[in-house]
Structure 1
Amino acid sequence: MGSNVHMLGQKTSLVGRQPVRSLPTANPLPAAPTCIRAVACSASGKRRPVEYVSRQDIVGVLPEGKASGGPAPPPQHSRSGGVPPSVTSAGATRGPQTRGPPAEAVADPAEDDDEEVGEEVGEEGEEEGFGAARAPDWDPWTDPEVVEALKEQEIPILEELTSATHIIVNDGFLPEADARALRGVFDRRFADPRVTHPERFLWDYWHVPDQYTLVRTQAQVYFPEELYNRLEDALLSYGESQLGCRAISPIWMSYYVDGCVQELHCDNPHGPFAFVLSLTKDWEQREFSGGETMILQPGVLNYWRNYEPRKGLELQQLVTRVPAPFNRLTVFDPRFPHGVRQVHGTRDPRKGRLVLHGWFTEPAPFFQGPLEPADAEEALNGGLAPLWDALEGISGLVTGTLIVRVRISGRDGSVSGLEWLADTLVEVPNHDRAAAEALLEGRVLPRLRALVHNEVRDCLTAITFPTVPSGEDSVLTYPIIFE
C-alpha cells in the first residue's frame, strides 16, 4: 500500500530511551520489509476484488422520493418577501426559468421513438436529483431504508467486525500486594520532610511554560530492582497479550500537587498506545480538585460533521475526563489531544496525584507455540500479498493501528480462530474528498473501517500454514499500522 501501511511500526525513540526487555515466550518473525501491499482473499483462498456499488444501483433500490430528495422544498424568500432571482455561472442574475429538454432531445411528434427520448431525459433528471440531494459524505450503508432495500436485492453490505476503541480502562491492574508495595516506597521516602537521604533528590521539577508543570522521576531508578521488575513484567505481558506490542518505553513516575498540570498535547511519535497507572490513594476522598486525564472527544476532532447550530456544548461534551483511582491502568490513543486537569489544593506529595506513565511500543508480528517463524514466513508473506493489493485503493484514507490474533491448527495448518486485539482506525478528512470523487464517477465508496476488517479477516483465515509434528496449536499476533 505504498508507504502508508506498515507491518512493523517504526516509531521515533524517546530522548534517553533505555533498552527494555521483550517477553521471552514470543518468537519474533524474521526481518521483513516495512511496507506491505494488499489483496482481498475469500475464505476459500481465491482473490476477491474490492467491489463498489454504483450510484445507479443505489438509486435503483432507493424508496420512492429518496433519489430526488423527496418533495420539492418551498421557494426561498428574500428579506423583502420575493423569490430571489437565480444566478448564472457568470454571476449575472436572471428571472426564474423553466428548464426544458436539450435541443437535440426534441423529436418530431410524428416519430415513433418519442417515449424513448422521454425516458432518457427522465433518467438523466433522476441521476441529477440523486447527486443534488446527497452530500458528498452521505453514507448509504447507514440509511435504514437503503440498507433494507439492499438486503432485499441481496446486495452485500460490509459490516464493521470490531469497534474502534481509543480509551481502555483496567481497574485492579496489578496484584494488590505489588500496587501497595510501590505506593509504600513512595510514602516512606516522603514520610518525614526533615530527613534527607539520596532518594529524596531523584526528582525533576519539570516546567514548560503554558504546557507542563509536574514533578517526575524514572521508575527504574526509584524502586527496588525486584519490585520494579514485577511492574515491568506486568506491563509487558499486558502489552503483548492485549495490544500486540512487544516493548514499552522507560516508565516515568510523576506526582502532581497544587498548580501542576499538563495542557493538551499529542504523543503520536512515541508509540501507538499510551498508558497511565495510578498510585493515587483515596481518589474519592482526595484533598485536591482536578487531576483527571483529559482526552479530546472524537466529535470535536470532526467538529463540523457533527455540528448542530441549535445545541450548545460544554466541557463534558468536548473532553472525556478519566479519574485516576488507585491501581487503575488507563490505556489510550496518544494521537488524540490529551492532558491532565490542573490540580488545586494540597502541596503534600503524599496527598497529591501519583501516577506511573509511558507508552507501549514496537508492534510486531510474532508467534507463540511450536510453529517456527522461519517455517511460517513463506506461507504468511504469500497469503498476505492479496491483502496489500485490496487495500491499495484506500491508501491515505484511514489511519491508526489494527492488531489481530489468529490461532493456527498444528494438525492441518488452518486458521481455526481470529480475535481482534486492538483497533484505533479512523477515517481521515481525505475520505470526504474521495467520497465526492466516487459519486462523480458513479460509485459509492464503501465504509472504510468495515472494508479493512473484512479484507483482513478473509485474507488471514485463508492462509494455510505448515503443520507441526506434535499437532499443537500456535498463535500469531499480527499488527497492521496505517499512517
Structure 2
Amino acid sequence: MIRRQHVAADFFPEAEAMRAAYEEKVGSAYRQSVQWQYFCDPRMYTYLRTTPQQVFPLPLWRRFDRHLRQWCMEHAGLMPTGEPNLHLMVNGCTLGLHSDFQNGTLGFVYSLTRWQSRKFAGGETLLMRDGVPSYKKHHVHGEALYELVPAQFNQLLLFDDRIVHGTPTIQGSMDPLEARIALVGHLRAASPVVTGPLDEAAAREVVTGFHRALAEPLKLFRDVQGVMSFRLAVAAGGGVESVEVLTDNFVTAQSGYESDDEVAAARALVLDAAAKLRFPAAGGPSKLVAPVLLPLPELRPIEIAVAHAGRPALLREALKAQLKEVEALGFRIEPQGDDFAVREPLAGTIRIESHRIVASFDAPMWVPSQREHFQAALNEKLGMLARYAG
C-alpha cells in the first residue's frame, strides 16, 4: 500500500535503452536537435525541460508509457495525468520548495541519472517531514526537517503531492551527459476500471451510488482529507469478496501522517461501505479499482457543450485527425460510431451533434481546482475544433 511515499527500484526493463537514446541525442553539441525549454523563475525554478518524444524513439516511449500506466493502476490505483516532462538539470539548476496540491494526488520522478557515478552535488528529491519544528529543540536542522531521496538510475519515486518538496541545487558539471535527467509528472484518480466480465458502465453506476451514500456519514470527518484507492474482488454473483487498499493518503492538517482517531474512523467507514457493495451478476469473477476523495467533491457529472456552425461529418473527421493533440492533455480516446469514447482519465463520450459538440464525463474524485482545470482545457480544445469548421 502506498501512503506518504514509495520507491520502486529497477522500474523499467528497457531503462538502458532509454538512457542510450538520451545520450545519442545530447552526446554531440553539433548533432543534437532536442528543443529544450529553459524554465526559469528566479525565485523558484531553474531547469531545462522537453517532451519525451523529443528524446526517445516513439516505439520505446510508447512501451514505457504503457508500462508506467499499467504499473500505476496496478500498484497505486491512480493514473498519470497527461505526459510527463523530461527534466535536464546541470550546474546551477534547482527546484525550490513547493507543493503540487492542484496538479495531482501523487507526484512521480523517474530517474535516468547515472547516480552512482555522478559528478555533482545536490539533485536529490527533498521531501519535508510532517510537523512544525519545535523551538525547544536545539539545532533542529538538516534531515530532522526533511528527507533526501537520491535519484537512482531506473528508480520510480512516488510521493504525496501535498508534501512541500524540491530539488537541491546542482553543483557540478554543465555537461548534459553528467546531469540529473528524470521524467517528472503526477498521478490522479481515474474512473473505476474493471478487469473481467463485469459490465463496466453498470459497475460505474454502483460506485457513483457508493460515493453518494458516503456523503452524509462522512460529514462527521470534515478535517480528513486525501485519496484512497482500492481493488475489489467481485464474485460472479456480484458480491465483494475482498478489498485491497492500494493508495491511502488520508490525513488531517493537524496530525499529518501520524496516527489519528478521526482518520482511522473515516478509513474504516469507507472500507466497510466498499465491502458491502453489490454489483450486477456477471459470467465470472472480476476485479475493480476505484477511488474515494475526502472531503467528497462535487458528485455532478461533467457536461461541456460548445456550439458550432459546421458540418458534423467534417468535424468528426477533424477530431479524428487531432486525437493525438487531444490525447497529449491526458486523454485516451477512440472513435465509436459517430461518437468518441473516452477511457482516461475519466470515462465519458464526446458527441458531435448538428449544432453543438457535447462532452460528458463521470464526476471525478478530484479537488475542485483540478476539475476546473480539466474543464477549461477541454473547453478550449473543443472550442478550437468548433471554429475549425465555422
TM over 0.5: yes
Matched, 1:454 2:281: no
The secondary structure found in structure 1 opposite 2:169 is coil
Partners of 1:244 and 1:364 within 8 A in 2: no
Deviation string 1:122-161 (CA, Å, 9 cap, x unpaired) is: xxxxxxxxxxxxxxxxxxxxxxxxxxxxxxxxxxxxxxxx
| 1:311 Cα deviation after fit | 4.3
User: Bigger radius of gyration, 1 or 2?
Assistant: 1
Are the equivalent residues in 2 in contact too, given 1:367–1:475 (CA < 8 A)? Answer: yes
Where 2:166 maps in the other structure, the secondary structure is strand
Q: Report if the CA contact (8 A) 1:365-1:477 is conserved.
A: yes
Number of equivalences? 292
Aligned pairs for 1:109-120 within 5 A: none
Aligned pairs for 1:7-18 within 5 A = none
Q: CA deviation at 1:377?
A: 4.8
**Structure 2 residue 97 is matched with structure 1 residue 285:** no
What is the distance in 2 between the residues matched to 1:216 and 1:249? 15
Choose which of 208, 211, 216 in structure 1 pairs with 2:49.
216
CA distance in 2, matches of 1:378, 1:271: 24
CA deviations 1:322-377 (Å, max 9, x no partner) are: 00111000011111111101111111110111111111234322222101133345
Distance 1:278 1:239 in 2: 16
Q: Compute the displacement of 1:319 (Å).
A: 0.9
Match of 2:167 in 1: 340
2:249 corresponds to: 424
Distance 2:255 2:93 in 1: 38
CA contact (8 A) 2:72 2:78 kept: yes
Q: Does 1:312 align with 2:139?
A: yes
Give unpaired runs (5+ residues) of structure 2.
Answer: 296-390
What's 1:482 paired with? 294
Q: Paired residue for 1:464? A: 278
The answer as to 2:102 corresponding to 1:269 is: yes
1:255 maps onto 2:80 in alignment: no
Q: How does 1:147-158 map to 2 (within 5 A)?
A: none
* Structure 1 residues 454 and 297, CA gap change in structure 2 (3 angstroms): same
1:196 alignment counterpart: 31
Q: CA deviation at 1:191?
A: 2.3
Q: Partner residue of 2:197?
A: 370
Once the two structures are superposed, the pairs formed by residues 59-458 of structure 1 within 5 Å of their partners are 165-175=3-13, 178-193=14-29, 195-197=30-32, 199-200=33-34, 202-281=35-114, 283-300=115-132, 303=133, 307=134, 309-377=136-204, 379-382=206-209, 385-395=212-222, 397-410=223-236, 412-429=237-254, 447-458=261-272
Deviations 1:211-248 (A, max 9, x none): 11111111123321101101111111122112222343
CA pair 310-298 structure 1, distance change in 2 beyond 3 A = closer
SS of 1:192's partner is coil
Distance 1:417 1:257, change over 3 A: same
| CA distance 1:381–1:334, shift in 2 (3 Å) | closer
Does the 8 Å CA contact 1:167/1:330 hold for their aligned counterparts? Answer: yes
Question: For the residues of structure 2 that align with 1:480 and 1:297, how far apart are their CA atoms?
Answer: 25
Give % identity.
Answer: 29
Per the TM alignment, residue 204 of structure 1 is displaced from its structure 2 partner at its CA by 1.6
1:85 corresponds in structure 2 to none
Distance apart, 1:272 and its partner CA? 0.9
**Following the alignment from structure 2 to structure 1, what is the Cα–Cα distance between the partners of residues 210 and 24?**
56
Deviation of 1:290 after TM superposition, in Å, equals 0.6
Provide the C-alpha distance between the structure 2 equivalents of 1:366 and 1:188, rounded to a whole number of angstroms: 38
- The TM-score with structure 2 as length reference comes to 0.70
How many Å separate the matches in 2 of 1:408 and 1:420? 15
Give the Cα separation in 2 of the matches to 1:260 and 1:236: 29
Query: For 1:228-281, what per-residue CA distance to the aligned partner results, in whole angstroms no more than 9, with x for missing partners?
Result: 101111111122112222343222111111111111011111111111000011
CA shift, 1:465, in A, is: 2.0
> Normalized per residue, which structure has more strand?
2
RMSD: 2.2
Cα deviation for residue 453 of structure 1 reads 1.7
Q: Distance in 1 between matches of 2:183 and 2:204?
A: 38
Aligned counterparts of 1:185 and 1:309: Cα–Cα separation in 2: 52
| 8 Å CA contact 2:9, 2:156 repeated in 1 | yes
Distance 2:21 2:207 in 1: 47
Q: 1:383, 1:289 → 2: CA distance?
A: 50
Contact 1:402 1:479 (C-alpha < 8 Å) held by counterparts: yes
